[in-house]
Amino acid sequence: MALALPIGTDLLSNPDHSLLHRVFAVDLLAPEQSVIVNSSGTLQAKVGIAIRDSSTNWYTTFQGGAQAGNLTYTLPTGYPAVTGYVLSGTTGGVLSWIAATGTGLSYTTSFTSASLAAGILTVTHALGRKYVVYKIYDNNDLEIIPDGATATDTNTLTVDLTSFSPITGTWNIRVVA
């Protein structure tokens, strides 16, 4: 995909487009990829929209598929509440961040003795399920059976490792919804 640079903003700078359209340069090897922003702010791109990384030559492309009509997506106005949220949409195209749910979803993290508060490990998994399955492995990859665990809420598991504290090295926990 050609990356475009702005070259004009009105009829005088580009007579091929109506007044107040912003026209972007077109790669002569791929003229079908021209991009126009009209006076209402609508972006018209024949193939897709490429957003270039400011520090490299890499870019991300957003591209529409074959469709029977116009589609409008409304993006969320902020970042997700916690890491692990997924983008979800309504049939009207309104997108929002929600906790991931469903079978097979998992969260894995490592922890050290410094991660424990009085022998208790709090795991914020953001899986959106209160009752989850979990496994803990020590720094020798041996499965550990903790002293207990509490399903604190739909995104948090509290694990009692008091009898193992202080732990040696880095341990891992995997939580599955």
pLDDT in tens, 135-176: 999 999 999 999 999 999 999 999 999 999 899 999 999 999
Q: What is the CA radius of gyration of the chain?
A: 25
Name 171's bridge partners.
111
Instruction: Name every residue whose Cβ is closer than 8 Å to that of residue 40 and which is 6 or more positions away in sequence.
Output: none
- pLDDT (average), residues 7-19: 46
Triad 40, 43, 47: Cα angle to 5°: 155
pLDDT in tens, 29-57: 455 555 555 666 666 666 667 777 777 77
- The whole-model pTM stands at 0.45
Q: Is the pLDDT of residue 9 over 50?
A: no
Q: Which residues of 123-150 are buried (b: 16+ CB within 10 A; e: fewer)?
A: bbbbbbbeebebebeeeeeeeeebeebe
In contact, 17 and 36? CB cutoff 8 Å: yes
- pLDDT (average), residues 119-129: 91
pLDDT value for 14: 47
pLDDT in tens, 71-102: 888 989 889 888 878 888 899 889 998 877 65
pLDDT value for 36: 58
